[in-house]
Amino acid sequence: MDNQSSEQKQQGGLSVDLESLFSGSTVDENTLLEMAQAGVLYGHKKSRKNPHFDEYIFTTRNGIEVIDLAKTVKAIDIVAGFLKKSLEDKKSFIVVGTQPSSHDAVMALSQALGNCSYVTRRWIGGIMTNFSVLSGRITHYKQLRDDIAQGRLDKYTKKEQLLMRREAEKMERKFTGVENMISIPDIMFVIDGSVKGHATAIAEAHIKHIPVVGIIDSDDNPQDFTYFIPGNDHARSSITWIVDRIISNLKK
């Protein structure tokens, strides 16, 4: 490696010498450096590790799990291949990432997957398991939104108009990203399975026998996913790097 790539990388007090740590890695040097700079290799503290994640840990440094980047790169190719084939088969998707660090990546991946549905705020319980009821609420929201835009609330009192506008604002926050869903998605993509609310989303997908794909860290359970990418799922730079790589593969 050159001088730059052999520098020690710092994150959260963890010092990693890439040259000594990944000597003999099957990942090319430029990719390895990019991933290190993005923080893709950093897992959580060893005490938080899910026991099913063991095989994706390269080593532990200062109590922090270091993820095997060769397996990350391989998994990205597998996941991208699955998503690309699913796109060709006209499958529908929903992308879930409610933590702020994932919002931009969620939007980018949603666009790459045919402007599919997405959730960046709070997961709405029942999206997958009670869609018929949810779709009725979405229809009501869209009608109310159109009524406001077309000035159809003028026939109501000022108080009634105020209440309806507040209702529309509340539903906008709730339904943005899923307002165009016409059926239950065929595939769910989740960024970080341990985030509050994401476990519910994954459980609903399992109930409906829908494949769950995602980016997961050392505190997640790989058994919850059909396909997954082991990597830092809480840092914006890492999530962005992984999603950009997926999107690049989709375009090939």
Same domain, 104 and 199: yes
Q: Which domain holds residue 18?
A: 8-70
17 has a pLDDT exceeding 90: no
**pLDDT for the residue numbered 26:** 75
Same domain, 191 and 231: yes
- Average pLDDT of the chain? 90
Domain boundary among 45, 70, 95: 70
Nearest to 118 by CA among 190, 51, 205: 190
CATH number of the CATH domain containing 241 = 3.40.50.10490
Q: Report how far residue 15's alpha carbon sits from residue 63's, in angstroms, rounded to the nearest whole number.
A: 11
Quote the number of domains for the chain.
3
**pLDDT for the residue numbered 7:** 37
Which residue do the tokens 């990597």 mark?
A: 231
| HSE of 178, CA atoms in CB hemisphere, 13 A | 27
- 214, part of any domain: yes
DSSP 53: G
208 or 22, greater pLDDT: 208
Same domain, 124 and 135: no
- 122, part of any domain: yes
Which of 27-31, 135-139, 149-153, 174-178 is least confident? Answer: 27-31
- 123, part of any domain: yes
Same domain, 241 and 147: no
Transcribe 162-173 into DSSP letters. HHHHHHHHHHHH
Nearest to 31 by CA among 64, 57, 1: 1
Tokens of 49: 């590790």
**pLDDT for the residue numbered 171:** 94
Angle of CA points 14, 228, 86, to nearest 5°: 145
Other CB atoms within a 10 A radius of the CB of residue 207 amount to 10
Global pTM value: 0.89
Cα distances from 64 to residues 40, 217, 232, in angstroms, run 13, 12, 12
Same domain, 135 and 124: no
Q: Assess contact for 101 and 235: CB atoms under 8 A.
A: yes
Same domain, 92 and 183: yes
Other CB atoms within a 10 A radius of the CB of residue 123 amount to 20
**What is the arithmetic mean of pLDDT over 223-241?**
97
Q: Report how far residue 165's alpha carbon sits from residue 47's, in angstroms, rounded to the nearest whole number.
A: 48
**pLDDT for the residue numbered 12:** 44
Q: Assess contact for 199 and 193: CB atoms under 8 A.
A: yes
- 102, part of any domain: yes
Same domain, 79 and 194: yes
As a whole number of angstroms, the longest Cα–Cα distance in the chain is 74
State the helix-helix crossing angle for 236-250 and 103-112, rounded to 10 degrees: 10
Same domain, 156 and 187: no
**What is the arithmetic mean of pLDDT over 82-107?**
97
Same domain, 185 and 243: yes
Pairing of strands 212-216, 227-230: parallel
**pLDDT for the residue numbered 5:** 37
- 3, part of any domain: no
Same domain, 124 and 214: yes
Which residue do the tokens 């390895």 mark?
A: 32
Same domain, 237 and 186: yes
Same domain, 109 and 171: no
Q: Within its chain, how far is the Cα of 25 from the centroid?
A: 27
